[in-house]
Each structure stands twice: as C-alpha cells, then as structure tokens.
Structure 1
Amino acid sequence: MKERIAKTAIALFHEKGIKFTMSDLARDLGVSKSTLYEHFPSKDELIGYVVQQVNEETERRFREVIQDSKLTIPEKLKGILLIVPHDFQNSYVRLLVELRRYYPERWREMEQAINDEWDIITSLIEEGIHNGDFRPTHIPTLIQTLNLLMKSIFDQRNLASSQITVQESLSMTVDIILHGIMK
C-alpha cells in the first residue's frame, strides 16, 4: 500500500504541484485519510519517503553506469550527469523549486545524496584526463563549476515558470558542459 500511495502522490505532484492535500490523495486512491495516516503520519513523512525512493533509485542507476565496462569514460560521465529518476523525467523544474521552498529539509536530503556522488565524479574525470579522454584542467574548479551548474537547474526561477522539464534542462546543461557552445 505504501508504494501505491507514493505513486499516486507522485502523480499529484505532476498535476497540482507539491501543494496537493492529503484529502486530494485519499480521494484519488479511493481510501480514507485515516488509511493514509496509518502508512504516513504526515504529508512531510510521505514526501520524505518519495525523496528516499528517488535517492535510492538515483544511487542504483549511478552505480550501474559506473560499473558498465562497455562505456567509455566520457559516456560514463555523461550517463551519470543525466540521471533523473524515472517518475520525474518529465517533471517541470517548478516541482523541484516548490520542494525546495516548502520542504527545505527534504530538499536537503536530496541535495546531500547528490553531493555524496562528487568524489566518484572527480575520480572519473581524473581517469579521463589520465587516459587522454579529457584535456588537462584544474579539477577542483571543474567540479565546483559542474556542481554549481547542476544546482542552478533547480534554482532558476525563470525556468520554473517555463514549460521545460527537469530532463530537458539537465540534457541542455550536460551538452554545454561536455561540448561547449562552439559549432
């Protein structure tokens, strides 16, 4: 039942944003609010559960890309930078802006999971420089730049009001990171 509640909540995120009510959720599930509260004592707990599931999926997919021996170093870097959880690939950036605004503790949990992956990304870039896949560069500056660019996707008020999805914004950002803006 927990998974069913979470999946329906995700559908409501897409439809109404993060401000949906537990009454909306109960109605869509065809259950009473008390049934919801048996599984999730609060909306914050429900959102926390969804964030935990997102973090676990992202971590699993991250490991799969890193461990895929068929991928080159540049393909691995691109693959991990483009990971967006399946249920949120077509989400609008607005949803993440709302999460950050209304549930800052849950946002920090998601951000911490992302921050934990930078050491692996750093190792991958070091390996790519050593192998000649990437040109030599000051890695701490590159990592800081990548980190700020990735964070900016979730912090751009102008993108939040447009109809661009998280996946589209991330794809454009990664393309610029890997290929620049030169023809």
Structure 2
Amino acid sequence: MRERILQAVAAEVDYRGLKFSIRDITSRLGISSKTLYQQFESKESLVLALVKQSIGEMRATEATIREDESLPTLEKLKQALIILPGGIAMKDVRLLDELRNGYPEAWRYADEYMREGWIGIRALVDEGVEQGVLKEFNFDLFVQMYIGSMYRLIEYQVSRAGEMTLIEGITQVVDILLEGICSDKSDHK
C-alpha cells in the first residue's frame, strides 16, 4: 500500500506540483484518508518519502554510471553530475522552490544530500586524476561551485520560466566546470 501511495503522490506531483491535496491522493487511489494516514502521518511525510525515494533512485543511477565499463571516466563524471539534481527536482525546477519554501524537513534532506552525497563523484574525480584526464584541483571548492551554481540556476529558472530547462542549464554548468570556457582553438594565453 505504501508504494501505491507514493506512486500516486508522484503522479499528482507531475500533474499539480506540490500543491496536491490528501484528497487528490485518496481520490486517485480510491482509498479513505484514514487508510492513507495509517501509512503516512502528514502531507509533509508524503513529500519527504518522495524526496527520499528520488534520492535513492539518483544514488542507484550514479552507481550504474560508475560501474559502466563502456564509458570513459570523464563521461561518467559528466553524466553523474548531470543526474544528481534531476531526481530532487522531480522533473520541474519550480518544485525545488516549492520544496524549499513549503516543506522544510524534505528540503533539509535534499539539501543535505546535495552537500554531502559526493562520495561517488569523489571516486570518479580521483580516478580521472590518476588517469591524467583531470588535473589536481580543490575538490571541496569544486563542490561549493557546483552547489552554488545549482541553487542560483534554480532561482534563475523560477524567475525566467521557459527560457531553458533545468537539465539544459545543469549540462551547461557541468561543461563549464569540467571543460572551462576557452575554445579548443585558443592557445590559452
């Protein structure tokens, strides 16, 4: 039952954002609110469970990317950096803003993951440095730059909806962080 409820919550979030109601969920499932409340104590706990599920899916995707022998290390790193926020955003950047403003416990969980869920990325960076495809750099500073870019991108996306998708923005940020802004033709003077 718990999984069915979470699937219904995900469907409602896709449809209504985080403005769904408990009644929307119970109507979708054809259950009573009492049945729902036996599984989840509040709307906040529903949202938190959805965020935790999303982060779990991102961790699994990241692990799959890291273990893919067909991908070079730099491509693994790029893909892993691009998928990290995708699950948290739950397909729409406005949801992150709603999450931050309306669901403090779920936001703290997502924010903590963004700040501390870097073990797999660190392993890919170390591998890249060892292979010579990445130079030595301050990893903690890189993480802060990435997180700062993410949060600024979210604010930008909310204020300028429709100009660029979140995934397009993240891809551009990752390209700049990993490849810089100099053209290949430049002699880097």
Amino acid at match of 1:67: E
Contact 1:93 1:153 (C-alpha < 8 Å) held by counterparts: no
Map of 1:60 onto structure 2: 60
Q: What residue is the counterpart of 2:14 in the other structure?
A: 14
Task: Indicate conservation of the 8 Å contact 2:88/2:96, yes or no.
Answer: no
Q: Secondary structure at the match of 1:85?
A: helix
Distance 1:145 1:13, change over 3 A: same
State whether residues 89 and 95 of structure 2, in contact with CA within 8 Å, keep that contact through their aligned partners in structure 1.
Answer: no
Taking the aligned partners of 1:115 and 1:58, their CA distance within structure 2 comes to 14
Percent identity between the aligned chains? 33
Counterpart in the other structure of 1:85: 87
1:110 is the counterpart of 2:110: yes
Residues 34-49 of structure 1 correspond to what in structure 2 (within 5 A)?
34-49=34-49
Contact 2:92 2:166 in 1 (8 A): yes
Distance 1:168 1:25 in 2: 31
Question: Are the structure 2 counterparts of residues 55 and 86 from structure 1 closer, same or farther at C-alpha, using a change threshold of 3 Å?
Answer: closer
Alpha-carbon distance change, 70 to 59 in structure 1, aligned in 2, over 3 angstroms: same
Counterpart residue number, 2:157: 159
Query: How many residues are matched?
Result: 179
Check conservation: 2:157, 2:166, Cα contact below 8 A. Answer: no
Partner of 2:147: 147
Runs of 4+ in 1 over 4 A off after TM superposition: none
The normalised TM-score by structure 2 is 0.81
Structure 1: tracts of 5 or more residues without a match: none
Residue 51 (str. 1) matches residue 51 (str. 2):
yes
SS at match of 2:9: helix
Whole-Å separation in 2 of the counterparts to 1:129 and 1:87: 30
Whether the aligned pair in 1 keeps the contact of 2:129 and 2:135 (CA below 8 Å) is yes
- What RMSD in Å do the two structures reach over aligned CA positions? 2.4
Give the TM-score, by structure 1 length.
0.83
- Deviations 1:112-139, CA, capped at 9 Å, x for gaps: 2233332432342233233221234343
Return the structure number with greater relative CO, CA threshold 8 A, min gap 6: 1
**Could you say if the C-alpha distance between residues 166 and 31 of structure 1 is closer, same or farther in structure 2, counting changes exceeding 3 Å?**
farther
Moved more, 22-31 or 162-171: 162-171
